[in-house]
Amino acid sequence: MKKIYTYPFLMFMVLCSCKQEAKKEAALLTMGPLTISKAQPVPGDEIDLTYRTDQELEGFYSYMVGDTYYPVDIDFSEANGEQKSSIKIPDSAVALSFIIQVDGSYDHNEAKGYFLPLYTKDGSVLPGSKAATAKYALQNGSNYGIKTDAKVAFENIKSDITAHPELQSDWNTAYFEMAYKNDKAEGEKLIDAYTTSILKKSDLTEKEYTSVVNSYSLMGEESKIDSLKTVIIKKYPNGSTARFDIFDQFQKETDLAKKTELFKKYETVLSKLDNIGNYMAEILANEYFKNKDMEHFETYLSKIQDDSRKAATYNSLAWPMAEKGETLTQAETMSKKSLDLIAGLQKDPKDKPNYLTKKQHIQGLDNQYRMYADTYALILFKQGKVADAIAYQEKAQHPKLQDVDGNARYVEFLMADQQYEKVVTKAETYLKLGHGNAKIKEAYKTAYLKINPEAKDVNEQLNAFEKEAYNTQFAAIKKSMLDEEAPAFSLKDMQGKTVSLAEQKGKTVILDFWATWCGPCKASFPGMQEVVTKYKDDDNVILLFVDTFEKGVNREKMVEDFIKSNNYDFHVIYDPAIENSRDFEVASKYDISGIPTKVIIGPDGRMKFKSVGYSGSNEKLVNEMDIMIAILKS
């Protein structure tokens, strides 16, 4: 009898096993090359990630709590053409976003991104998950190539909050701001209803008062804000609103003694200085340094409780002295202190900002150390300590050798030490990578001839390096080519004339987004002037300099004075601020989150390239513009 029942029993077990395997397969979630081990994970779960590639991979995930997100590194390991990792979902999370970089480029999953809602144990999407992913995509997506429609994002947030009213207290500011942008009338209605309901309460907390103030600020209700602030400060004299009011007075005050008293007042209400307090202490330290009052300089510098900010202050004061070659002993002391502070943080990377992963925080400290080592090396060199200068300039080298000015200084120091063979090797590397300049070319030529006095091929060598750099840059630029809609615009220029994108159809249009306060923008302008001059007689190439992220009643005069004083031949157009918003019309349309940013639009009227930042080399910038224009003309 035992034999009779064994076969059916085994068949039953096999069938059950097959069903379980099918359930396991069904439980997987695959999005492009990314596979997640659980399609409906709940907070606290551990999930496995598999990404199909044998290329270099870096990534992090952000877990979302309410309308806030927290990024965490993902440590992948490669095996058989796949990258694998595991993460434990925090208990407080409502959704996840995965940001993955393959061989230096972000994989945006066909502009959809990699988003994972989280679930309850009964399989329902967690309240707030839909809203959190929508806000993250809208706020951060453009940094990683993720596209999202603002109206769709708002509707997702609205539907989530409508279905789960308990979410509203955590979402008020973000929700109302998006509602107001999406539909001004509906936004005002929502804000009015909310503020009325809150102000009916008999005893408001400061958080509730602040939410009302934030709501009023969206609509520009300054008189209501001012009267409410008076009430809040009286009721909560040591609260955040009172501190912000002190800070506002501090910003406006020009008398140093009165500024100092305001800081002391701010300091008394806190057991430990916050970011604003550290900033105020930094401002005072700088002011006293300018007045050559070193006693008060040291007093207020010592009050900065953020070592990274303190190091930045030392470096910002040491660098001008290094450039001018003045008070070098003092500059050396201050610069060394900046290095020691960062070195201490590298050993114990504390106080990581919530918006950075651990790796990003450490990379930021490494970047700071290299920047400050560059300052220290220049000071040592100008003091005649050439060997020490070389040692620190080596520490200052960018991992990808992209700091052109730093490369030039390193070569200069090696030349001074008569290390000609090393100059030839280093200069050749920089020039082939496109991270060189005229000084590096000249140093290469001199060193090459020192080693080979009879050589006749030095110019041939330099031409070969230049050609290799051009080809490398050309391939990289062509690989980055886009084909996206270029949003229409009509803006006023400095002469008051209207300039529209539609009028430029059939031409290559370069939009350079900038502002007068932007250091890298201004540093790039000599190079951009070269581009303007080079193409001034080419009717098929149009350069427009879009002044953005800039407000104030004197905005136009400030811009015009800057352009005139620098003798730039730029066609400047003004990007207007969106009413009752921190955003600007055209910058928002083009997803501009930082400047300088250059957008290149092809003759077909579509966006073909987007270049963010400034490399530090005007020669490289001109080459980049030439290549993009050449590609679009071909």
What distances in angstroms separate CA 523 from CA 265, 615, 624, one per listed residue?
39, 10, 16
Asked whether 370 and 346 are in contact (CB, 8 A), the reply is no
Tokens, residue 510: 């370069």
Give the 3-state secondary structure of residue 544.
Answer: strand
Give me the sign of the Cα torsion angle 339, 344, 349, 352: negative
Q: Which of these, 156, 145, 243, lies nearest to 480 by C-alpha position?
A: 145
- Looking up tokens 């190079």, which residue turns up? 527
Asked whether 216 and 224 are in contact (CB, 8 A), the reply is yes
Give me the sign of the Cα torsion angle 183, 185, 189, 192: positive
| Catalytic sites, residue numbers | 518, 521
| 460-484 b/e (C-beta count within 10 Å ≥ 16 → b) | ebbeebbeebeeebbeebeeeeeee
Tokens, residue 592: 């501009």
CA-angle at 595, arms to 591 and 598, nearest 5°? 70
Cα–chain center distance at 448? 41
| 560-590 b/e (C-beta count within 10 Å ≥ 16 → b) | eebbeeeeeebebbbbebeeeeebbbbbbeb
